[in-house]
Homo-oligomer: A and B are copies of this chain.
Amino acid sequence: MYTCEYLVDFTRSFFVKMGCSADDSQLITDVFLAAELRGIPSHGLMRLKDYYQLWKANRINVKPNVRIVHETPSTAVVDGDNAIGMIAAVRSMEIALEKGSKAGSGWVSTRNSNHYGIAGYYALMALKKDMIGMSMTNANPQVAPTFSVTPMMGTNPIAVAIPAGNQPPFVADFATTPIARGKLVVAEKKGEKVPYGFVQDKDGNPSNDPAILRSGGSMLTLGGDYEHGSHKGFCLSAIVDIFCAVFSGANFGPFVPPSVAYLPVLEKKVGEGTGHFFGAMRIDAFQPADVFKAKMDEWITTFRAAKPAAGREKLIIPGDPEREKEIRFWKEGIPLLPAIARDLKEIAGEIGLEFEVKE
């Protein structure tokens, strides 16, 4: 177990060593730690090595000039100047919140960015301002549209955070695929098969092989197969891609740049970098804030009272599991897999820092 303090200090120092400003390093650290605390380690410190290697390869800009390039009272396009994703994303979400506080709602599409960590972080930023927050990103292609075998899209997540009153907020944060890529890696390492509906082989036949992506296979969209509505998952993933990339002028679909340095820069580009989309709506743009919050409390308690299925304790309100983990990890410390800790020690040594591996 690591204390939050230890990981915060280390991560912040690491980005300062990479040349980020103190403020930027703190922001990036906040997002990484939020992923660890909320139990989404696939977007946590496991990724630090990828960011570091992109920087070493001169593929990411640690002194970016993130700026608005086009705007209306309720919308903007932001150019991230090839920043580390968190920097472009936090600035963009701040602009969405500012526009939202004036115009009722604010919507920002961001180009020329990179991997931004957990989508939920930016949606959550809205809550303390009594606003509804939204966040989406496109990502490097590994998912095939229904009836196709070409990996055209990333796992393109959507996050929506909605404030409540006495109840904790509603926080949805989900990929538009049945599973995260990480589940395939874990199954493969364990030598296990996966259920049908997660991946297909190179010809589009159903597959239960978690390693199938290495032999031309692809991940499937939410729904799994056409019969179960995978074309609806494709709609969602496509909407995320268009809002993030066509709106902003980022690369879309198969042209989204890799978020790891061991994959080469793509030959063709159709825009600038990776794209994100952010939204912010004031709750009192619709109802007086206290009325809105009381109604959300009623919504949440109504849904909590639904009868559980046989063998299940209760239904899950979106945001509950992550919040429970956040409280626990904050108190008990954050577990890192030994392999991740060893990676961190290695790159720490390279950059002139120390990291303690606790086996």
Residues 75-86 of A, flagged 1 when their CB comes within 8 A of B and 0 if not, give 101000000000
Contacting residues of chain A (217-273) with chain B, CB-CB under 8 angstroms = 222-224, 227-229, 231-236, 238-239, 241-242, 245-249, 252-254, 270-271
Residues 174-212 of A, flagged 1 when their CB comes within 8 A of B and 0 if not, give 111111000000000000000101101001110000000
A178-B229, A222-B233, A287-B70 known; A246+B299 contact, CB < 8 A: yes
Neighbour of A200 across the interface among B248, B281, B309, CB < 8 A: B309
Let me know if A314 is at the binding interface, CB within 8 A.
yes
A149-B308, A235-B174 known; A286+B109 contact, CB < 8 A: yes
Contacting residues of chain A (300-322) with chain B, CB-CB under 8 angstroms = 302-303, 306-316, 318
Rounded to whole Å, the gap between the CB of A20 and the closest CB of chain B is: 29
Let me know if A103 is at the binding interface, CB within 8 A.
yes
Residues 132-176 of A, flagged 1 when their CB comes within 8 A of B and 0 if not, give 000000000000111111101000000010100000001010111
- Which one of A28-36, A49-57, A290-298, A323-331 contacts B? A290-298
Rounded to whole Å, the gap between the CB of A155 and the closest CB of chain B is: 11
Q: Are A147 and B103 in contact, with the CB atoms below 8 A? A: no
Q: Are A318 and B104 in contact, with the CB atoms below 8 A? A: no
**Whole-angstrom CA separation of A109 from B314 in the bound complex:** 30
Residues of B within 8 A of A254 (CB): 302
Let me know if A282 is at the binding interface, CB within 8 A.
yes
A147-B315, A222-B229, A238-B172 known; A103+B72 contact, CB < 8 A: yes
The interface size bin for chain A is 35 or more
Residues of B within 8 A of A252 (CB): 295, 299, 302
Neighbour of A303 across the interface among B72, B145, B299, CB < 8 A: B145
**Whole-angstrom CA separation of A105 from B318 in the bound complex:** 27
Contacting residues of chain A (102-121) with chain B, CB-CB under 8 angstroms = 102-105, 107, 109
Rounded to whole Å, the gap between the CB of A143 and the closest CB of chain B is: 11
Let me know if A285 is at the binding interface, CB within 8 A.
yes
Q: Are A318 and B235 in contact, with the CB atoms below 8 A? A: yes
